[in-house]
Amino acid sequence: MEYVYTAMLLHSAGTKVDAKSVEKVLKAAGIKAEKSRAEALVASLEGVDIEEAMATAAVAAPAAGAAPAAVASSEEAPAEAEAEEEEEEVSEEDAVSGLGALFG
């Protein structure tokens, strides 16, 4: 996960996301960087619009996080709560699919 965060950080800073930059950032953070993993990350990001993927994940994540609080605070019947939990799972899947775009 550190590698993906590094790619997002480099992109947000306007720096080219390449294996060397990924390794430098990870080393600066005190993480032993593996060249092969950095290269695999960069290869998987080819053709991916990182900005769009980050925006999609940022929009979907709060919606998924808000659903459990709403269920816990309401006094709904168990069947209604189960229906909302099912909707929550779909929302979490949407959030994950947005992040999945970072991997190609």
Phi/psi at 22 (5° precision): -60, -45
pLDDT at position 53:
85
pLDDT at position 88:
46
d(CA 6, CA 102): 12
pLDDT at position 63:
60
d(CA 101, CA 104): 5
Find all residues with CB under 8 Å of 1, minimum gap 6, and list them.
none
Find all residues with CB under 8 Å of 83, minimum gap 6, and list them.
none
pLDDT per residue as tens, the chain (104 positions): 899 999 999 999 999 999 999 999 999 999 999 999 999 999 999 998 888 888 888 776 666 655 555 555 544 455 555 555 544 444 555 555 555 555 54
From the list 65, 10, 14, the residue with the least C-alpha distance to 41 is: 10
- Residue recorded with tokens 């709904």: 76
- Residue recorded with tokens 């990924």: 22
